[in-house]
A and B are shown apart, each in its own frame.
Chain A
Amino acid sequence: QVQLVQSGAEVKKPGASVKVSCKASGYTFTGYYMHWVRQAPGQGLEWMGRINPNSGGTNYAQKFQGRVTMTRDTSISTAYMELSRLRSDDTAVYYCARGWELLAQKGLDFDYWGQGTLVTVSS
């Protein structure tokens, strides 16, 4: 069965960086895009960007350009999202979610989600 298992909660100071991992199992990791979505406390979902695990190519939401880096390690089927220059309003639950099949460019989108990683930014 498909599973996405994320790393544990983090507490960071303003200005620091955080790196969240998302380990995939139960499917071909390099065959599907991986997206990152965040949700601030009591707020809605916000798309951050995606990575093509096969090529490593990335697309980021304009809001996060210059602050976010998405990478992957295909040897361990794991995707990473690093957010730098953290601010208090970056406090949120960060999710990874499986996107389209690479060759499809449509279809089931965000059909599997990680359990979420709470990142708290506080001085």
Chain B
Amino acid sequence: QSALTQPASVSGSPGQSITISCTGTSSDVGSYNLVSWYQQHPGKAPKLMIYEGSKRPSGVSNRFSGSKSGNTASLTISGLQAEDEADYYCCSYAGSSSRVFGGGTKLTVL
């Protein structure tokens, strides 16, 4: 199972919007609406931000949204804030109880 493909880095200024893509295959992202997104600050455990492609857990800001088209899922962060600077990982269900993560994207808030 190959890792999902994410851009290594993205950046944006405070108040702007950014989108992080996550490209998989017809065996994972394309077959299931079960992509999750995680935010990880340095030295911390990841935090769930989006599940089932577009749903937000309780307590997660509505500035975070998710979508999917074909084999590519996307995470959009609107109204960028300094605290959003972190690494972001996508993860997809890949059948037979397995999961596959993306390589991660470093978000820099300029």
A and B part of one assembly: yes
Size category of the A interface is: 20 to 34
Q: Do B89 and A107 have beta carbons less than 8 Å apart? A: no
Q: Which of B43-88 touch A at CB < 8 Å?
A: 45-48, 51-52, 57
Q: Which of A42-62 touch B at CB < 8 Å?
A: 44-47, 50, 59, 61-62
Contacts of A109 in B (CB 8 A): 34, 36, 48, 51, 91, 93, 99
CA of A106 to CA of B97, assembled, Å: 11
How many A-B pairs have beta carbons closer than 8 Å: the answer is 59
Q: How many residues of B contact A (CB 8 A)?
A: 25
Interface 9-mer from A9-17, A79-87, A112-120 = A112-120
Interface check B109, CB cutoff 8 A: no
Minimal Cβ-Cβ distance residue in B for A61: B98
> Whole-angstrom distance from the CB of A96 to the nearest CB of chain B?
10
Listed A/B pairs (14) with beta-carbon separation below 8 Å: A44-B3, A45-B40, A45-B104, A46-B101, A47-B100, A50-B97, A59-B96, A107-B52, A108-B48, A108-B51, A109-B51, A110-B91, A113-B46, A115-B45
